[in-house]
Amino acid sequence: MKAEIISIGDELLIGQVVNTNASWMAAELNKSGIRVVHVTVISDQEDDIHQSLDEALQRADIILMTGGLGPTKDDITKLTLARYFGVGMVFHEPTYKKVKAFFAARNFNMTDINRHQADIPENCVPIENNNGTAPGMWFEKNGKVIVSMPGVPFEMKPMMTDQVLPRLLKKYKPEPLFYKTIMTTGMPESFMSEKIKKWEESLPQHIKLAYLPQPGIIRLRLSASGKDKEKLKKEIEKYCNDLNNYIPELVYGYDEVTLEEVTGSLLRERNKTVSTAESCTGGYLAHLITSIPGSSDYYTGSVISYANSVKTGQLGVDPGDLEKYGAVSRQVVEQMALGIKEKLGTDYSLAVSGIAGPDGGTKEKPVGTVWIAVATSGNVKSKLFHFGEHRGRNIRRSALAALNMLRLEILKETT
Amino acid sequence: MKAEIISIGDELLIGQVVNTNASWMAAELNKSGIRVVHVTVISDQEDDIHQSLDEALQRADIILMTGGLGPTKDDITKLTLARYFGVGMVFHEPTYKKVKAFFAARNFNMTDINRHQADIPENCVPIENNNGTAPGMWFEKNGKVIVSMPGVPFEMKPMMTDQVLPRLLKKYKPEPLFYKTIMTTGMPESFMSEKIKKWEESLPQHIKLAYLPQPGIIRLRLSASGKDKEKLKKEIEKYCNDLNNYIPELVYGYDEVTLEEVTGSLLRERNKTVSTAESCTGGYLAHLITSIPGSSDYYTGSVISYANSVKTGQLGVDPGDLEKYGAVSRQVVEQMALGIKEKLGTDYSLAVSGIAGPDGGTKEKPVGTVWIAVATSGNVKSKLFHFGEHRGRNIRRSALAALNMLRLEILKETT
């Protein structure tokens, strides 16, 4: 089963947008056992689209196209496909209703342009778009499948996951690759690879390991293919368990779960609450926590004390300590954690104070120096971190480190 | 002058690595006036490389390849190219010396494998690699240029900037493209295209318009090519100014600037400060503001009042109003804005209260209902928004809408 991805859009060819769609789709297809043999990026031009389709149909069984489905006149994929297949356009009533409802829900009136979004080539099966107005389209030709989807990632991804992939699996029944991804936080790739060297060497030949690093997170992906899925699954689970002996505090979950989900679940299960006090992370820690639906069950709120006056005025940090030790210090971060915990009356609290950069660093406390505290019922603990020089990554790493401290503290108290 | 990029590597086809090389190269080529017409991603296989070269030579004058130049046996680009051109390999002494020096500087011994890195196809001009061991290769065939570079970004990028691009400019003397991107917020693509229809129709043929939507933001990109760069620049600027008559409140800046940067600059220039009180955005608004280096100059902090008790206890929201009108109401959001402004003593404040979803919606206030208030020296204004059903996007749109309200308020007060 070979697939080709055709990404349409001038923004990709001028380098304004990075083609993350193609890599996401490739990863999803691979997990399902469908091999991507070719990715093509072309402009919004009829000739280019026709030529790429001709070439792709020679190489692949499945062709997935994204882009050029918007309502404006520079979006030409739909008509181009109709002409490619030599068919006319038909008005698709259910799509029209869907588009109409989409606008009604947002209190906007529909325009003529939007009405045309319900016109589709007569040989296609439309694919519902639950996050936008342009439907996807499924074509079949000589036993091959051509799918056209919007280029907007938040429209394309659910369309792919919920509709296109299940249809492809049903049609082709590929032999799946078996994957398990181990989610870790708190150690850079090179150190981790030293630490888990023996474990890595113990893996049998048919189980492959890949390191997938992101700022603050390393995903370790184990993959294997074979007929006996149950046996593979057990085998991979054994190696996952083994890994815990090497890096017990770093593995926070499996299969793309986030640290904010894991921590939230621990709090919910135990009926506990948490609050936060943030300086250098500037709301990002609260944002991660509240990005989880239902987080209001365990998260009450935060004081973001960007200015020192807010640290003393709102969090009860001692002005003398602030003066003596500086805002980025054990003393201040612990007082921030205790202050917010008392103020909002939560079971736990987290506080972060550091130098995110690019300015504000000193010789003693260079950019990337971050103190993090976690307060529990009877205790407050803090830890000093040295991250890097990049502001955005320092903010992200600080928030992840705080969540991991909370996670470990909850587990310690209750197991 | 048309260029095609061929990216070689299985890691790209399984979605493990995002093809940032291609977008970076495309941006660099475009800036120089060389148009990229096609990007192809293929695996490390001889047949695929040969076929892609055949196809690319039909479409483009310049073909830039990356990947497959490492010393290990899965890196086959060099031999594949020699066979493609039907030539033998020669030992290139200066490259050998360079590789040898590279290892000596790192206290590593050279292996036989590394020695082969100095073997190059006899018809190529080698390109020095100052950041690694594999040289690049420049081929010419029937007046067309084919360049092969390493796939490692920190080896490829300087090779491209310092050697490949200057050679290409010298050979082809391309006419540069001129771009301007107009950043807008607050209106979906289809409505905007109705609203700016006349403006769009007024654009001359040689100026192209593209809509590049993201959640909450639409970028309008104007592009034109021609000999007289100054004239084009003036012409494009005229159309940018004209657009302001159609959507005066929506254009917040140009050329990839963010709303948080623009708002931050306005505050800094006027020596004003802002604080925030967030409910449904849960810290994301604060995070956007503090993602900008130096934001501590104008941002003091926030109270995130996720729980109602924090709204009354910390922000001074009247418990009676909270009971009567609900947390998502004009009354409550205005009191939140006034409360935080007074508490932190800032010139402006923003408050957001809404239903981000997926739960918590009612018939009267469905998911996506958001109230936003901006408080100024003598005033508080609030506005009701209806966003969609997706939690993450509701949070992002709310924060952007809040920043745009602040931006407009600052401009109104001071111009």
pLDDT, tens digit, 9 for 90 and up, residues B106-141: 766 777 777 888 899 999 999 999 888 889 999 999
With CA atoms as reference, report the closest residue to B59 among A77, A2, A43: A43
Tokens 């490389």 correspond to B49
CATH superfamily for domain A259-414: CinA-like (3.90.950.20)
* pLDDT greater at residue A96 or residue A348: A348
**Listed range (A96-100, A318-322, B155-159) with the worst mean pLDDT:** A96-100
Count other Cβ atoms within 10 Å, centred on residue A164.
Answer: 23
Count other Cβ atoms within 10 Å, centred on residue B267.
Answer: 23
- The yes-or-no verdict on residue A71 having pLDDT over 80 is no
Q: Which of B191, B218, B317, B403 to mutate to test the interface with A (most CBs of A within 10 A)?
A: B191
Which pLDDT value is given to residue B72? 63
Residues of chain B in contact with residue A48, where contact means CB-CB under 8 angstroms, are 37-38
Closest Cβ–Cβ partner in A37, A154, A359 for B43: A37
Torsion, CA A60, CA B14, CA A395, CA B289, rounded to 10: 0
**Listed range (B218-232, B296-310, B325-339, B375-389) with the worst mean pLDDT:** B218-232
Q: Number of C-alpha atoms within 13 angstroms, CB side, residue A341?
A: 20
Which pLDDT value is given to residue A100? 86
Computed over every residue of chain B, the mean pLDDT equals: 92
With CA atoms as reference, report the closest residue to B386 among B114, B201, B186: B186
Closest Cβ–Cβ partner in A14, A42, A111 for B38: A42
- A:B CB pairs within 8 Å: 272
Asked if B310 lies within 8 A of A344 by C-beta distance, the reply is: yes
Asked if B18 lies within 8 A of A23 by C-beta distance, the reply is: yes
CA distance, residue A414 to nearest chain B CA (Å):
25
Answer CATH for B177-254 from 3.30.360.10, 3.40.50.40, 3.30.70.2860, 3.40.50.800:
3.30.70.2860
Q: What would the mean pLDDT of A11-25 be, rounded to a whole number?
A: 92
Residue B145, classed as helix, strand or coil, is strand
Helices (H), A139-252: 153-159, 165-172, 189-195, 197-202, 229-243
Asked if A22 lies within 8 A of B40 by C-beta distance, the reply is: no
Asked if B392 lies within 8 A of A284 by C-beta distance, the reply is: no
Give the separation between CA B37 and CA A8, rounded to whole angstroms.
Answer: 11
- Reported in sequence order, the residue ranges of B315-391 that DSSP labels E, i.e. its strands, are 348-354, 369-376, 379-386
Asked if A305 lies within 8 A of B306 by C-beta distance, the reply is: no
Tally DSSP H helices, then E strands, for chain B: 17, 17
Report pLDDT digits (tens) over B188-205. 888 899 999 999 999 998
Which pLDDT value is given to residue A102? 84
Torsion, CA A92, CA A96, CA A97, CA A103, rounded to 10: 160
Residues of chain A in contact with residue B287, where contact means CB-CB under 8 angstroms, are 281-284, 286-287, 395
Domain borders along chain A are 2-172, 177-254, 259-414
Q: Which amino acid is at B399?
A: A
Closest chain A residue to the Cα of B18, Cα to Cα: A23
Q: What would the mean pLDDT of B77-87 be, rounded to a whole number?
A: 94
Which pLDDT value is given to residue B154? 84
Which pLDDT value is given to residue A415? 64
- The yes-or-no verdict on residue B69 having pLDDT over 90 is no
Give the separation between CA B66 and CA B204, rounded to whole angstroms.
Answer: 38
Burial status of residue A171 (CB atoms within 10 A of its CB: 0-12, 13-18, 19 or more)? middle
Closest Cβ–Cβ partner in A152, A210, A286 for B213: A152
User: Does A71 contact B at CB distance below 8 Å?
Assistant: yes
Residues of chain A in contact with residue B43, where contact means CB-CB under 8 angstroms, are 37
- Reported in sequence order, the residue ranges of A281-361 that DSSP labels E, i.e. its strands, are 299-305, 348-354
B267-414 CATH:
3.90.950.20
Residues of chain A in contact with residue B344, where contact means CB-CB under 8 angstroms, are 307, 309-310, 314
A377 membership: H or E segment, kind and range: none
- The yes-or-no verdict on residue B12 having pLDDT over 70 is yes
Phi/psi region, residue B142 (left: phi>0; alpha: psi -120 to 50; beta: rest), is left
Task: Quickly state the pLDDT bin for B30 (edges 50, 70, 90).
Answer: confident
Q: What would the mean pLDDT of A383-395 be, rounded to a whole number?
A: 92
- The yes-or-no verdict on residue A227 having pLDDT over 80 is no
Instruction: State how far the alpha carbon of B408 is from the alpha carbons of A31, A339, B263, B287, in Å.
Output: 47, 36, 9, 20
- The yes-or-no verdict on residue A246 having pLDDT over 80 is yes
Sheet of A208-214: strand order equals: A208-214, A217-225, A177-185, A251-254
- The yes-or-no verdict on residue A51 having pLDDT over 80 is yes
Phi, psi of A110 (to 5 degrees): -75, 145
CA distance, residue B115 to nearest chain A CA (Å):
27
Asked if A302 lies within 8 A of B303 by C-beta distance, the reply is: yes
Give the separation between CA B221 and CA B200, rounded to whole angstroms.
Answer: 12
* pLDDT greater at residue B21 or residue A176: B21
Residues of chain A in contact with residue B39, where contact means CB-CB under 8 angstroms, are 12-13, 19, 39-41
Q: Which of residues 274-293 of A touch B (CB under 8 A)?
A: 276, 278, 281-287, 289-291, 293
Cross-strand bridge partners of residue B212: B219
Report pLDDT digits (tens) over B251-304. 999 988 999 999 999 999 999 999 999 999 999 999 999 999 999 999 999 999
- The yes-or-no verdict on residue A325 having pLDDT over 80 is yes
Residues of chain B in contact with residue A23, where contact means CB-CB under 8 angstroms, are 12, 15-19
| Token reading at B166 | 């200057």
Closest Cβ–Cβ partner in B39, B302, B310 for A41: B39
Closest Cβ–Cβ partner in B13, B19, B296 for A37: B13
* pLDDT greater at residue A209 or residue B292: B292
**Listed range (A98-107, B35-44, B57-66, B375-384) with the worst mean pLDDT:** A98-107
Q: Which of residues 24-43 of A touch B (CB under 8 A)?
A: 24-30, 35-43
Task: Quickly state the pLDDT bin for A190 (edges 50, 70, 90).
Answer: confident
Which residues, 6 or more positions from B236, have their beta carbon under 8 angstroms from its beta carbon? B178, B180, B207, B222, B224
CA distance, residue B93 to nearest chain A CA (Å):
34
Q: Are A81 and A148 in contact (CB under 8 A)?
A: yes
Q: Which amino acid is at A168?
A: L
Asked if B386 lies within 8 A of A293 by C-beta distance, the reply is: no
Burial status of residue B90 (CB atoms within 10 A of its CB: 0-12, 13-18, 19 or more)? middle
- The yes-or-no verdict on residue A10 having pLDDT over 70 is yes
Count other Cβ atoms within 10 Å, centred on residue B256.
Answer: 10
Instruction: State how far the alpha carbon of A267 is from the alpha carbons of A106, A184, A298, in Å.
Output: 35, 20, 6
Asked if A19 lies within 8 A of B24 by C-beta distance, the reply is: no
Q: Are A69 and A149 in contact (CB under 8 A)?
A: yes
Which pLDDT value is given to residue B73? 60
Torsion, CA A294, CA A298, CA A300, CA A301, rounded to 10: -80
User: Does B188 contact A at CB distance below 8 Å?
Assistant: yes
Q: What would the mean pLDDT of B39-51 be, rounded to a whole number?
A: 93
Task: Quickly state the pLDDT bin for B61 (edges 50, 70, 90).
Answer: very high
| Token reading at A391 | 């502001």
User: Does B111 contact A at CB distance below 8 Å?
Assistant: no
Instruction: State how far the alpha carbon of A257 is from the alpha carbons of A217, A219, A261, A402, in Å.
Output: 11, 10, 7, 17
Q: A174: which DSSP letter?
A: P
Between strands A119-121 and A251-254, the pairing is: unpaired
Closest chain B residue to the Cα of A107, Cα to Cα: B386
CATH superfamily for domain A2-172: MoaB/Mog-like domain (3.40.980.10)
Residue A109, classed as helix, strand or coil, is coil
Q: What percent of chain A has pLDDT over 70?
A: 99
Same fold, B2-172 and B267-414: no
Which pLDDT value is given to residue B335? 98
A253 membership: H or E segment, kind and range: strand A251-254
Which pLDDT value is given to residue A253? 96
Instruction: State how far the alpha carbon of B311 is from the alpha carbons of A301, B12, B162, B190, B402, in Å.
Output: 9, 49, 57, 38, 18
Q: B34: which DSSP letter?
A: P
Whether the predicted interface score ipTM is above 0.90 = no
Tally DSSP H helices, then E strands, for chain A: 17, 17
